[in-house]
Chains A and B, each alone.
Chain A
Amino acid sequence: MLVSTSVLLLASLGFIAYELVTYRNTMVENLSTQAEIVGINTISAVLFNDPTSAAQTMSALRVKPSIVSAAIYKVDGKLFARYVRSDGLTIFQMPEQIEGNTSGYRFQNGSLFLSRPIVSEGERVGTVSIQSDLNEMETRIKRYVSIVFGVLAISMLTAYGVSSRLQGRISEPILHLAKMAKAVSVEKNYSIRAVVDSRDEIGQLVNTFNEMLTQIQVRENALQKAHDKLELRVKERTRELQQEIAERKRGEETLKEYAEQLKIVNKELEAFSYSVSHDLRAPLRHVDGFSQILLEDYAEKLDEQGQSYLRQVREASQKMSQLIDDLLNLSRITRAELRRESVDISRLVEAVAESLKKTEQNREVEFVIQKGLAAQGDAPLLRVLLDNLLGNAWKYTGKRPQARIEFGRAEKDGKEAYFVRDNGAGFDMAYAHKLFGAFQRLHSVAEFPGTGIGLATVHRIVHRHGGQIWAEAVPDQGATFYFTL
């Protein structure tokens, strides 16, 4: 609508402008012709000096109401005859005298003034001047404009009518469709269907739209079902998980209780073993001491058997002393506070190796110690640990002429573990689980001395550091003890 109206308006304005421009020229031409005609018809009147006749000829100009006045001048420019429009209002305004050779036109004060020569036999005998008002032009233009606008109005009405009809056929169904689509997307209601009005392309579009909606609806339902199923499953799982968690919690609670109990028990045990050891020590000292005195001072009073019995008593008491020491150690280790600091394990190992060498200076043992290893742990406890492990290694390679003890750090089972390896007696892996039990021995005392406490101690130390300890061995080839801290 807007487009057609503006286009029509533009075209009309163009036409009007053209008319305005050309009408002036047309007007001048017409008036010129009229002047010439008047001139021709008044030649004789001018020549024969008959102003009455000239005036009479000019009076014919009354048929053109736009002509305000007219005048004929003789060849010398003097006014000869006049005409003025007989509406009772017009005043004759032409000059009484003009230049003898006046010719041409001008627009002035809302009138067109035009002069033409009167010529007879090639000779100028006078001048005709006509004054015309511009009403005709104005009227014509007004008429033109009104026609233009009338046409414009009719066109607009027609356009409006046509577009309304078209709207009913085309835009409306489309708008309806658009509204439905919006409703569907806003309300998420896929059961809406658009109304099919016609069987043409618009109708097709609507049908297709509805089909699409049906599809969407189906999918929506399927989706909803799946969603519901999923929710159900999730609920179940959640319930299961919750159950598990509850159980676990209960387990944990139980564990906590046990742990508490255990702690208490351990504490008691430790206290007990400590005090026992201490209390056991005193009488033992007596036994050991007095048996020694007996051996030294009263040996001649006893026979061989008696001395042998005494010696056995002493041995047993010493063994018992050793046992008590070890037990004390064990209990101390369990009780003591763990102080973690950076410890140069390699140096520690070397120190232990030195002290071991000192105990049996005749033995040749090869020590391979990895240098520069550091660990975070309690230095005295670590010392004890190493004492035991290296001591064991020393002990069980006693029968080897080429004893070799290694210490280092390696990756084992994905963990960084320290190891002590020897090529000594080794042990049967079947009994590995017994290794770290207190008083457990895999070899007889006759073969290798020992109380069976050592590894238990080591085990406890490692565990207090939060690490793990395990061992691998082959009988008669050697054993490797791994531990982490």
Chain B
Amino acid sequence: MEFLTTLFRMKIFLRSAARSTVLGALCLLLVSGMAAAAEPLEYAVKAAFIYNFAKFVEWPKESSSKEGSFVIGILGRDPFGGALQQTVSGKTIRERKITVKQFSRIEDAIGSDILFISTSEKEGVAQILRRLDGAPVLTISDLGRFSEQGGMIEFVIDHDRVRFAINPGASAQAGLKPSSQLLKLARIITGPGKAKE
């Protein structure tokens, strides 16, 4: 699986630098990558995934016709190290330019289209989710039991591979519709999403 993640990195690096130097750097990186911990690579993959999620989720009409750029927010500590910015640079979601913003308070982050909740916010997850209840924000996190608590997409590491679980009930509550293409790849969680009375 290191192989595959390496390939992803190759894709990203090929875009920016001259090929020969990149290849050389890649070789080094490959070696180092395989030896070292997967953490920087992991978040590169997760960054790619986050961008891809946007392709496979339908936002409610009012939200998708919003003016301005498509906002991917990071609530709490930014673990991506610029990978997310790099992934989305120059790309669009439904013709909207993508912006990555970092928030420390949920109240600020509520206008995002996608919100990644960092592990640093472990303590306040329930509160955050409550606060976001009903808002058309795709909540993603790699905190454990995130989706059980009502988070929509939870990153999971399975056999050294980045996987994810989706809580379709939670997304439905927010008016978001993940495509079947996405759902079939995910572990489905039927969590205690805050059901509307």
Contacts and interface: CB of A to CB of B under 8 A. Distances in A.
A147 to B, nearest CB: 43
A434 B178 CA distance: 170
A47 B92 CA distance: 16
Interface string A113-157: 000000011000000000000000000000000000000000000
Contact of B185 (A48, A76, A120): A48
A476 interface: no
Interface in B7-53: 7-8, 10-11, 45, 48-49, 52
Contacts of A75: 11
Given A43-B181, A45-B185, A48-B49, A120 B55 contact: yes
Interface in A10-49: 41, 43-45, 47-49
Contacts of B196: none
Contacts of A78: 7
Contacts of A76: 7, 10-11
Nearest to A49: B4
Interface string A39-75: 0010111011110010000000000000000000011
B194 to A, nearest CB: 27
Given A53-B185, A78-B7, A44 B179 contact: yes
Nearest to A120: B55
Nearest to A46: B52
A76 B164 CA distance: 24
B181 A44 contact: yes
Interface residues of B, number: 21
Given A53-B184, A75-B11, A47 B55 contact: yes
Contacts of B7: 74, 76, 78
A45 B182 CA distance: 8
Interface string B183-194: 011000000000
Contact of A48 (B52, B91, B92): B52
Contact of A50 (B55, B91, B185): B185
Given A44-B179, A47-B52, 11 more contacts: A44-B56, A44-B184, A44-B185, A45-B185, A48-B164, A48-B185, A49-B8, A50-B185, A76-B7, A120-B55, A121-B91
Interface of A: 41, 43-45, 47-50, 53, 74-76, 78, 120-121
